[in-house]
Amino acid sequence: MWLAVFFGASVLVALTPGANNLLGMHHGVHHGPLRAATALLGRLAAFSLMVAAVVAGLGPVLAASRTALTVIKWAGVAYLVYLAVRILMTRERGETPARRGSPLRKEFLVAITNPKALLIFTAFVPQFVDPARGPVALQLATLGAVYLAAEALAGVAYVVVGAGIRKSGLSRRAEARLDKATAAVLLGVAGVLATGRT
């Protein structure tokens, strides 16, 4: 029962619009559903590393370290700005975004440099741990796996939206506007991340 409750809460958290979900939708538009869905493995790999860190007891240490969070935060800001600029420059040069960079690598880098994601695994997930149920490390690993399943589900949902937009047959002008909107939102997320407290 507690895992079902946790899974439902995790799906709601994972579905929240953010850089990775926006990127997944963008990949769905430019790469199609299969490649975009495969790219989600990059995000899941990054989150798996965070789960492993929490299980090993390193997560809370990193979350409590202002220096570590600051480094992760500014690396994330820089990468989001870089992605936004790349999207805009690709359009200005008349190139196809689908040919620029690896979607899987982008998913991984956006996820691994997101301090908010680290806090999910160090603040949100542990709330569902009950020492009375057994070994804490095992519970954390189980909850981490369940959250990854929720994240995969949410990621696929955004990819499906992007693939639906792709299938609708956007004109070049509409596609360019969508790319500009995507870049603007990425810059907005970078701004929020930059001005947020660590």
1-11 residue pLDDT tens? 788 999 999 99
Residue 4 within a domain: no
Between 131 and 99, whose confidence is greater?
131
Q: Total structural domains in the chain?
A: 1
Helices (H), 56-171: 59-64, 66-92, 103-112, 115-119, 136-167
pTM for the model stands at: 0.80
pLDDT exceeds 70 at position 93: no
**CA 38 distance to own-chain centroid:** 14
Instruction: Give yes or no for residue 59 having a pLDDT over 80.
Output: no
Q: Is the pLDDT of residue 12 over 80?
A: yes
Q: Is the pLDDT of residue 45 over 90?
A: yes
Specify if 12 maps to a domain: no
Range of 58's domain?
22-195
Torsion sign over Cα 181, 29, 165, 43: negative
Region of residue 101 (left: phi > 0; alpha: psi -120 to 50; beta: else): left
In a domain, 9, yes or no: no
Residue 157 lies in a domain: yes
Whether 145 contacts 10, CB under 8 Å: no
For the cut 80, the answer to whether the pLDDT of residue 61 exceeds it is no
